[in-house]
């Protein structure tokens, strides 16, 4: 026999503990993170199960006509919530283990069928009382097949253990201990409850929820650290992709030719080339957007080097009406290079105009890079046998760092217009967001 008051007090303490976890998770909730979503659902169900002991504490043994309805309703909810809890956690685990869509679908179907059987038996108990009964004195009593209800509750956990063992290679070793403990605690609570009669399964589930919470947050911290490392590597990759060997070769060849013909111009070109390289290298360490003036200076340096090579065949028009905003580094220069290399240079006569313009609008800043080159059809890529990642890199960094969008419009034989739209709110608050 057990002390009811001790169990009730323990349930209340665990309920407060789970409630704190739930509130904290909701406060830090990330709608794009499935683990936060599943954990909130798990905590909510465990909290309801723990609080379901309260009516027993308040109503047990009292002879009011409506008390049996309260106790029956609460007990029914207590049993019925076990099915959704198992379903939610198994779905969480299948996502966490990175199972493919087909396997997740099969698991969902199996768990749905299990849930139908589980809830049907809980409903039938209301008529036949094989799980539990509420007697005339409003006392709860276990039925003949109460143990079956506990075994059915454990079955999904055994499935979870099987999935974990089979697909453990899909998660990091550091996450193994937390997952094992979360799976093990409900089983341990059920075993103790079966052998002693102490109703402490929900309390063990609360401890398991804390372990799951710690596991999720540790995993998120690890992934954040890995993403930061990958971002640093990406910056280096972007920088290297912008320092194209052909551009370096052409620039150095042009400078070498100027050394004899026009030493002063060769000196200026050498300084421009040096600034161009330094800007690309410095961008590796940039973790936040830079003033547009800085990016404009970089693209101007690049275009001056290109004009040394192409002379009057390349005309550059700067229609800059606004510069008071921030933009990710190495954004405009690759777009301008793309216009020169793939648009203007591919024209039969090799002559064209590149226009860079900025405008301030009511809700955003707009940058346009347009050329009168050969243009292209939607979805078409240059057929030069090379990998072209510059445009996608620019689009991704604009979205990630400034919540900006990029639109490309092109007409074959007419030219291409690239429009970059940066929301004012994001542009004005970007320093705060990135610190």
Cα 38 to its chain centre, rounded Å, is 14
What does the pLDDT read at residue 318?
Answer: 94
Q: Break the chain into its structural domains and give their ranges.
A: 4-229, 243-434
Fold of 4-229: Rhopdopsin 7-helix transmembrane proteins (1.20.1070)
The predicted pLDDT at position 394 comes to 82
The pTM (predicted TM-score) of the whole model is 0.47
Sequence-distant (6+) residues with CB within 8 A of 373 are: 339, 342, 343, 344, 345, 346, 347, 352, 415, 416
Chain segment 35-87, per-residue pLDDT in tens: 677 777 877 887 877 777 666 666 655 566 666 677 778 788 878 887 887 78
- Cα dihedral sign, 297-300-306-311: negative
End-to-end CA distance of the chain: 58
Residue 358 has pLDDT above 90, yes or no: yes
Task: Provide the pLDDT confidence category of residue 139 given band limits of 50, 70 and 90.
Answer: confident
pLDDT of residue 345: 86
366 strand-pairing partners: 359, 421
| pLDDT band, very low/low/confident/very high, at 238 (cuts 50, 70, 90) | low
Per-residue tokens: 43: 């905590």
The CATH number of the structural domain formed by 243-434 is: 3.30.565.10
Give the residue-averaged pLDDT of 1-12. 66
């Amino acid at each position: 026999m057990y002390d009811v008051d001790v169990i009730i007090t323990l349930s209340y303490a665990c309920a407060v503990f789970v409630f704190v976890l739930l509130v904290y998770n909701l406060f830090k909730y990330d709608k794009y993170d499935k683990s936060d979503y599943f954990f909130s659902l798990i905590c909510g169900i465990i909290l309801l199960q723990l609080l379901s002991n309260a009516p027993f504490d308040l109503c047990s043994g009292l002879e009011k006509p409506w008390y049996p309805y309260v106790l029956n309703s609460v007990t029914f909810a207590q049993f019925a919530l076990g099915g959704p809890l198992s379903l939610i956690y198994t779905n969480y685990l299948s996502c966490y283990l990175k199972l493919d869509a087909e396997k997740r679908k099969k698991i969902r179907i199996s768990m749905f069928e299990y849930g139908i059987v589980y809830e049907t038996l809980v409903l039938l108990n209301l008529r036949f009382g094989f799980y539990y009964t509420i007697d005339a004195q409003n006392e709860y009593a276990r039925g003949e097949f109460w143990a079956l209800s506990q075994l059915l509750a454990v079955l999904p956990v055994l499935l979870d253990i099987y999935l974990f063992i089979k697909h453990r290679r899909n998660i990091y070793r550091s996450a193994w201990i937390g997952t094992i403990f979360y799976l093990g605690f409900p089983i341990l609570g059920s075993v103790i409850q079966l052998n002693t009669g102490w109703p402490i399964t929900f309390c063990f589930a609360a401890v398991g929820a804390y372990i799951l919470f710690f596991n999720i947050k540790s995993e998120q911290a690890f992934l954040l650290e890995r993403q930061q490392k990958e971002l640093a590597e990406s910056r280096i990759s972007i920088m290297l992709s912008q320092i194209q060997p052909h551009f370096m070769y052409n620039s150095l060849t042009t400078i070498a030719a100027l050394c004899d013909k026009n030493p002063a111009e060769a000196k200026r070109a050498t300084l421009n080339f040096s600034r161009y390289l330094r800007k690309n290298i410095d961008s590796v360490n940039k973790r936040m957007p830079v003033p547009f003036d800085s990016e404009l200076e970089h693209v101007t340096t690049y275009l001056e080097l290109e004009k040394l090579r192409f002379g009057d065949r390349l005309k550059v028009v700067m229609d800059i009406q606004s510069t008071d905003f921030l933009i990710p580094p190495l954004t405009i220069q690759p777009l301008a290079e793309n216009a020169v290399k793939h648009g203007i240079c591919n024209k039969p006569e090799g002559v064209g105009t590149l226009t860079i313009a900025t405008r301030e609008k009511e809700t955003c800043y707009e940058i346009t890079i347009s050329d009168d080159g050969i243009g292209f059809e939607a979805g078409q890529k240059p057929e030069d046998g090379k990998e072209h990642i510059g445009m996608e890199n620019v689009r991704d960094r604009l979205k990630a760092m400034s919540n900006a969008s990029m639109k490309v419009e092109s007409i074959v034989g007419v030219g291409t217009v690239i429009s970059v739209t940066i929301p004012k709110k994001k542009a004005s608050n970007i320093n705060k967001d990135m610190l």
